[in-house]
Amino acid sequence: MEINGVFIEDTFAEAFPIWVSRVLITAATEKLAKIAATEATGFGCSVIMCPAEAGIEKYVPATETPDGRPGYIIEICHPKKSALEHQLLERLGQCVLTAPTTAVFDAMGEDATEHLKVGFKLKFFGDGYETKEKLNDKVMYSVPIMGGDFKIESKLGIKKGVAGGNFFIMADSNSSALVAAEAAIDAINGVEKTITPFPGGIVASGSKVGYTNPKYSFMAATTNQKMCPTLKDSVEDSEIPADVNGVYEIVIDGVDEEAVKEATKVGILAATKIEGVKKITAGNYGGKLGPHQIKLCELFE
């Protein structure tokens, strides 16, 4: 298949189940809300080494938030439910409670299949001075701090989502591939209930599970030599076409498979409009990693 003159390989991105929380952080100004959201989602690229996968999903204007203040929705993901709760407590407790004027609300809503008592547990920072209150239909805790009161909803919803959706952009130069990757991220940012957890949404390194060199048996993951343009003439099983000199990967997590599919589709469409892009492909382990197979060509049927 070709889209905008770019070859789309008939393959699939292999994704896996992950527990997802969707949280709204508000503050007195958009700037303060974004700072708190950025801090709370730091060091959240990949669960290979990071304690969680996390990212900012979208900005929410004051007219659409429970407390009438600007905010950002973030997503935090982990394969284990108990570890996700731990990450919520740490990230919200250390990065949001400490930030000026912030409040925290559940943003999973009716999509949630379970709820964690994150706000209830964080209220104990109040040392007995915290209070319980209602905001419309939400049960909130108000914790007195130097900057006023930190407010957090008692329970935060979670559900099984999808992680590891991906596609690779292959172009005639590194700069063309990078411009295409940035265009893809700009498009994906408009898809609700998804995040692209890597820096700026773009994966420069790529990786494979395990190692090739037996001397590196201590490594959980190593470089994906088949997809490295600088190795295409020296690696026997290189997957880099002769006319490709730049490759970037986009990784997508989301609340459900449909959201990840939509993000993949709009991202690919945006990338194929950039001059110099030659091919779009995806990473998989033949179905051994996870049950979700996002077939690239089927997205456009």
pTM, 2 dp: 0.96
Q: What is the mean pLDDT of residues 220-239?
A: 95
Question: Which conformational region is residue 29 in: left (phi greater than 0), alpha (psi within -120 to 50 degrees), or beta?
Answer: beta
**C-alpha to C-alpha distance for 267 and 287, rounded to whole angstroms:** 23
Give yes or no for residue 270 having a pLDDT over 80: yes
DSSP 8-state symbol, 229: G
Domain spans, the chain:
2-14+160-300, 20-159
The CA dihedral of 262, 265, 267, 268, to the nearest 10 degrees, is 170
Residue 43 has pLDDT above 80, yes or no: yes
Beta-strand runs (E) in the chain:
2-3, 6-8, 12-26, 53-60, 71-78, 103-106, 114-116, 131-135, 138-145, 148-153, 156-171, 194-195, 202-203, 208-209, 221-222, 246-254, 277-281, 292-295
Question: Residue 139 and residue 118: Cα distance in Å, rounded?
Answer: 12
Residue 96's nearest CA partner among 201, 159, 43, 24 is: 24
Q: What is the pLDDT of residues 136-153, one digit of tens each?
A: 999 999 999 999 999 999
Domain at 2-14+160-300: CATH code:
3.30.70.520
2-14+160-300 and 20-159: identical CATH topology: yes
Class of domain 20-159: alpha beta
Mean pLDDT confidence for 214-218: 95
Length of the chain, in residues: 301
Based on the number of CB atoms within 10 Å of its own CB, is 42 exposed (0-12), middle (13-18) or buried (19 or more)? exposed
The answer to which of 47-51, 172-176, 284-288 has the lowest mean pLDDT is 284-288
Cβ atoms 196, 164 nearer than 8 A: no
The answer to whether 176 and 246 are in contact (CB under 8 A) is yes
